[in-house]
Amino acid sequence: MSDKPKLAQYWASSCGGCEIAVLGLHEKILDVAGAFEIVFWPCVMDFKYADVEAMADGAIDVCLFNGAIRNDENAHLAHLLRRKSKVLVAFGACAYGGSMPGLANFTDREAMFDWIYFHSPSTENPGNVRPEMRTTMPEGDLRLPRFWNTVKTLEQIVPVDYFLPGCPPEAGSIEIAINAIVSGQLPPPGSVIGSDTTVCDECPREKLNKKVKRFYRPHEIIPDPNICLLDQGLFCAGIATRAGCNARCPQVDLGCRGCYGPNEGVYDQGAKLIAGIGSMIDADTVEEVEAILDTLPDPAGYFYRFHLPQSLLRRKALGNGKKQPKTEPVAATR
Amino acid sequence: MSDKRVGVYVCHCGHNIAGTVDVEHVAEWAWGLPNVAVSRDCQFMCASLGQDMIEEDIREHGLTHIVVASCSPHMHEKTFRGACERAGLNPYLFEMANIREHASWVHPHDKDGATDKAKALVSAAVHRVLQQQPLEPLQVDIRPETLVVGGGIAGIQAALEIADAGFPVYLVEREPSIGGHMAQFDKTFPTLDCAACILTPKMFDAGAHPNITLLTYSEVEQVDGYVGNFTVRVRRKARHVDESLCTGCGTCWEKCPKKVIDTVFEAGMGYRTAIYRPFPQAVPKYPVIDTENCTYYQTGKCKICEKFCPTEAIRFDMEDEYVDLEVGNIVLATGYDIFDARRIPQYGYGRLANVFTSLEFERLTNAAGPTEGKVVLRDGVTEPRSVAIIHCVGSRDKNTNEYCSAICCMSSLKFDHLVMEKTGAQVYNFYIDMRPIHKGYEEFYHRILDEGTQFIRGRVAEITDAAHSPEEEGKLIVIAEDTLIGRQRRVPVDMVILAAGLEPRADAQGVAHMFGVGCGDSGFFTERHPKLDPVATMTEGVYIAGACQGPKDIPDSVAQGAAAAARILGVIFRKQVALEPIRASIDESRCSGCRICNTMCPYNAISFIEELSVSRVNPALCKGCGTCVAACPSQIITGAHFTFEQIMAEIDGILVDVHTAPPEHTAVEAV
């Protein structure tokens, strides 16, 4: 054992991109390897959960935790790593805001399983198999962790020291975080490591007066490379998204997707996008507003793509799935 | 936070609040809210006793923040802010919880629920007030010039009052002459004096007044600025007549060969020429060329007016001009439109020749009108033997306008008299209710009854020319239920007059937006308070007078014109006005320059600073409406007095458990 600070990294419900992002540091990864002793990183090295359980509490100096929490296993590891780590970092958009897995909060477990295992056009399931928490086989019981109705962020499960946004976090952001940890020059606990302005601040495109008659999908027009994408009717979440990525997507003609989450002090990125996008609609009548909004497909997905579990909405109301009876307007009596 | 000391005052408002809300309990319970150092209930907080109590508590108990739970802030926010100020506390450290309109009045049958709600509202106010910051009002200078928009009787009155007090007025009128609708009328009710005889002296005074600059045939195109310092752009439409040379001799319109139906002043009843003056007493006296109908503008030939003009005042090449005016206050007196009776097709207006509107009849009976005052049918010669006057056309009707147009009862009675006087015809009135409500009106109604007019109570179903019997042949048949005898009636008449209602001007919405005032459900401009502040608007420095605020007759319009003038003179004499410090501000170090807010501001208070790539709010223009605060997607615009922290604290406060027991507290002696 060396006296270098001990680093752990873990993925919960995520795509694996955050793991790749760390490798995206290229040769700087060697500095990381040189500066830290890696004690847990299931993606690249062979460790068992039992190894972590055997550690003393607080034995890990820094744990980079990526992925959202959507089942008992995710939550177990979140609690375990919190206990074992001095500094716990919610690494990437899923751990920070719920991100793509969090869009499952627009539906519920049963509806999701029904679709995935039975009804989706690409499903082939002749045996009508459906995942169960316990399956009895001749050799014994097989167990799966309990799958939750609601996707949560890491902070909704355990206290988190720092948040590193991004899907995945840009190499530059990771570098800043690692350097801060190594040098001990850390911001106050609870901070989001990043800028306190929005992507527009880093975007070189010229901003115009933001009035649009319709929205376009990326394949529908070839945008002017120098003018703000929103001014051209292309959806861009940069107006309501924390800066720190150097406006990577807008710089290659692609609207910001919002992966760095809400700006400093904002509770609900989706609400801010609704306010911002709503303010741009150049309409005189209600019908015209509706027509313009119809050119923006899946607004809930656009506005809450990276942030739904952390937003003020959290999720779609869990009900019995029944539609509320529509009240008929009472006929006016004379 | 610990050094903050909040005083909570729960008002009984007599029985208005205490009849439903358990105010003593609310005051007891409020002791448990954060930082509350004093909590009391009081019969009438707005009375001097209540205000004195606040002042003494601030001094005695070192209160740093005040919450009054009573009525709407519209009613008494100013009162309690004043009390705080007198005791040396910044008035913006005061917050009001509305437990009357929002609790007792809306839940009169649920005392427990109303009490719970009152507690939640008090809690919200306490949580909020702890976040409030002292603010200082903005002092701005008041320019002495006033803009009056609309040269009808209300606008003329306002202009004359201000000008007579010695201050300059710009009077802008869209038509070639001032005078408005009143200039079209023959007689005025209930005195039957001649409208022109009482109006034209005022028109002349306005035209000749050294302090009044008349801008007729002109329209306001743009308004910027704020109370005391408005900049107004006025488009002076080209008259094509040089006013410095024209003497108003009338040679041009006597010689002009092009005759056009006059749909404005003559309401379609008469003709005018292409170069015209709307009526003989017009102020100013100069004519205008109607380029859409003038032969020269259509074919390039004619120029007869130019040939005959003795002073060579005709200017075919004249173009619209723009003038920018700097004014301190604005009166909107833009008047009304007459309801278009074609919208009720069963009354046959536009289809049945002898169905007239009230404005058409005004021209018919006017001695200066197209028939020289003879009441005749559309053929121009036949006197009617019988006339029906239909009340409430386009008023008091769910299909058109729900409101009462206020003037039609009286103008119909006036028509009754004029028809009988001039033709001796039998007159039938079809009415819903008679509403002769002002001084001398009821007496006038009885006079008309005594003169022999018939009154049939019932809304007219249809006016038709389909005869059912020989005596109906060639007549208009008015079909209505006579609700007093409970029978359908068919009344054959020669002439029908529709007492068309008053409507907001067709462009009222646009004008309202330009001047930053509101329009109510019916489309008329909204006053600041329907009872206590009828001529001010929610935009400081912009006042409304006359029928643009709602249907009204001449005396009411004159009274409002004078009232608006009095309000403005008060402001001018003060020389300065304090603006609410509730303003938006942009944290420029964090603004990313996305420009979402730039076009959102209804007051054009936000500008984009290119060099810095940030947006900036002009605090003197900002009205604190909060539109940009909500729109800013990066949340770096703050509305003073409505900050993110204050609103969140208010929400936290309203969500507290209101069923906790009132805490033990040290009794505070009554003062």
Tell me what the mean pLDDT of segment B59-72 comes to. Answer: 96
CB contact under 8 Å between B599 and A209, yes or no, is: yes
> Taking a contact as any Cβ pair under 8 Å apart, which residues of chain B between 584 and 603 contact chain A?
590-600
- Please determine, for residue B670, whether its predicted confidence score (pLDDT) is greater than 70: no
Domain ranges of chain A: 6-101+151-183, 199-310
B630 in contact with A, Cβ within 8 Å = yes
Q: B574, B596, B627 — which closes off a domain?
A: B574
Answer whether residue B579 is part of any domain. no
CA distance A277 to chain B (A): 8
* Tokens standing for residue B228: 């005391």
Which pLDDT band holds residue B74 (cuts at 50, 70, 90)? Answer: confident
CB contact under 8 Å between B633 and A199, yes or no, is: no
pTM above 0.90, yes or no: no
Residue B671 pLDDT: 46
Span of A92-101, B135-144, B353-362 with lowest mean pLDDT: B135-144
Q: Chain A: residue nearest B596 by CA?
A: A210
Choose the closest CB to A266 out of B598, B630, B635. B635
CB contact under 8 Å between A272 and B633, yes or no, is: yes
Chain B residues in contact with A209 by the CB 8 A cut-off are 595, 598-599
- Please determine, for residue B669, whether its predicted confidence score (pLDDT) is greater than 60: no
B633 in contact with A, Cβ within 8 Å = yes
> Residue B427 sits in a domain of what CATH number?
3.50.50.60
- Please determine, for residue A326, whether its predicted confidence score (pLDDT) is greater than 50: no
> Does residue A237 contact residue A317 with C-beta atoms inside 8 Å?
no
Q: Chain B: residue nearest A267 by CA?
A: B635
CB contact under 8 Å between A228 and B598, yes or no, is: no
CB contact under 8 Å between A265 and B644, yes or no, is: yes
Answer whether residue B185 is part of any domain. no
Chain B residues in contact with A240 by the CB 8 A cut-off are 633-634
B408-423 and B441-450 helices, crossing angle to 10°: 30
Bridge-based pairing state of the strands B36-42 and A162-164: unpaired
Tell me what the mean pLDDT of segment B310-331 comes to. Answer: 96
User: Sheet of A37-40: strands edge to edge?
Assistant: A37-40, A6-11, A60-66, A85-91, A162-164
Bridge-based pairing state of the strands A60-66 and A6-11: parallel
Tell me what the mean pLDDT of segment B469-490 comes to. Answer: 96
Quick one: B341 and B481 in the same domain? yes
Quick one: B546 and B589 in the same domain? no
Best interface-test mutation with A: which of B595, B634, B646 has the largest number of A CBs within 10 A?
A: B634
A272 in contact with B, Cβ within 8 Å = yes
Q: Chain A: residue nearest B634 by CA?
A: A240
CA distance A57 to chain B (A): 36
For the segment A283-316, what is each residue's pLDDT rounded down to a tens digit?
A: 989 999 999 999 998 999 999 999 999 999 999 8
Give CA–CA dist B621/B227, Å, rounded: 9
For the segment A227-244, what is each residue's pLDDT rounded down to a tens digit?
A: 999 999 999 999 999 999
Residue A322 pLDDT: 53
Quick one: B370 and B497 in the same domain? yes
Tell me what the mean pLDDT of segment B497-517 comes to. Answer: 95
Which pLDDT band holds residue A328 (cuts at 50, 70, 90)? Answer: very low
Tell me what the mean pLDDT of segment A151-169 comes to. Answer: 96
Answer whether residue B451 is part of any domain. yes
Quick one: B379 and B257 in the same domain? no
Quick one: B304 and B415 in the same domain? no
Quick one: B401 and B329 in the same domain? no
- pLDDT more than 70, % of chain A: 95
Answer whether residue B358 is part of any domain. yes
Choose the closest CB to A210 out of B595, B613, B636. B595
B566 in contact with A, Cβ within 8 Å = no
Tell me what the mean pLDDT of segment A192-196 comes to. Answer: 89
A210 in contact with B, Cβ within 8 Å = yes
Tell me what the mean pLDDT of segment A155-170 comes to. Answer: 95
What b-and-e string marks burial along A72-101, b requiring 16 or more CB atoms within 10 Å of the CB? ebbbebbebbbbbbebbbbbbbbbbbbbbb
Which of A150, A180, A154, A153 is closest to A62 using CA atoms? A180
CB contact under 8 Å between B633 and A240, yes or no, is: yes
For the segment B375-390, what is each residue's pLDDT rounded down to a tens digit?
A: 999 999 999 999 999 9
Chain B residues in contact with A280 by the CB 8 A cut-off are 596
Quick one: B410 and B376 in the same domain? yes
Q: Chain A: residue nearest B635 by CA?
A: A266
A126 in contact with B, Cβ within 8 Å = no
CB contact under 8 Å between B592 and A199, yes or no, is: yes
Tell me what the mean pLDDT of segment B543-562 comes to. Answer: 97
CB contact under 8 Å between A275 and B591, yes or no, is: no
Answer whether residue B614 is part of any domain. yes
Answer whether residue B212 is part of any domain. yes
Structural domain span for residue B592: 584-640
Quick one: B329 and B380 in the same domain? no
Choose the closest CB to A239 out of B594, B599, B613. B594
Model ipTM value: 0.85
Quick one: B462 and B563 in the same domain? no
Quick one: B483 and B360 in the same domain? yes
Answer whether residue B270 is part of any domain. yes
Identify the architecture of domain A6-101+151-183 in CATH: 3-Layer(aba) Sandwich (3.40)
Residue A160 pLDDT: 97
CB contact under 8 Å between A263 and B634, yes or no, is: yes
A204 in contact with B, Cβ within 8 Å = no
For the segment A241-254, what is each residue's pLDDT rounded down to a tens digit?
A: 999 999 999 999 99
Rounded to an integer, what is the distance from CA B154 to the centroid of its chain? 12
Give CA–CA dist B558/A104, Å, rounded: 66
Which of A10, A6, A8, A62 is closest to A36 using CA atoms? A6
Burial class (CB in 10 A: 0-12, 13-18, 19+), B344: buried
Answer whether residue B94 is part of any domain. yes
- Please determine, for residue B367, whether its predicted confidence score (pLDDT) is greater than 60: yes
* Tokens standing for residue B549: 């605020």
Tell me what the mean pLDDT of segment B271-286 comes to. Answer: 95
Quick one: B397 and B495 in the same domain? yes
Burial class (CB in 10 A: 0-12, 13-18, 19+), B574: exposed
For the segment B527-541, what is each residue's pLDDT rounded down to a tens digit?
A: 998 888 999 998 889
Residue B631 pLDDT: 93
Which pLDDT band holds residue A329 (cuts at 50, 70, 90)? Answer: very low
Give CA–CA dist A312/B648, Å, rounded: 12
CB contact under 8 Å between B595 and A275, yes or no, is: no
Span of A38-47, B197-206, B399-408, B429-438 with lowest mean pLDDT: A38-47
- Please determine, for residue B12, whether its predicted confidence score (pLDDT) is greater than 70: yes
CA distance A210 to chain B (A): 6
Give CA–CA dist B300/B609, Å, rounded: 49
Chain A residues in contact with B635 by the CB 8 A cut-off are 263, 265-266, 272
Tell me what the mean pLDDT of segment B419-423 comes to. Answer: 96
B153-164 and B554-574 helices, crossing angle to 10°: 30
Quick one: B560 and B447 in the same domain? no
Q: Please, what is the average pLDDT of chain A? A: 90
Which pLDDT band holds residue A257 (cuts at 50, 70, 90)? Answer: very high
Tell me what the mean pLDDT of segment A185-212 comes to. Answer: 91
CB contact under 8 Å between B634 and A198, yes or no, is: yes
Total of domains in chain B: 5
Q: Chain B: residue nearest A280 by CA?
A: B596
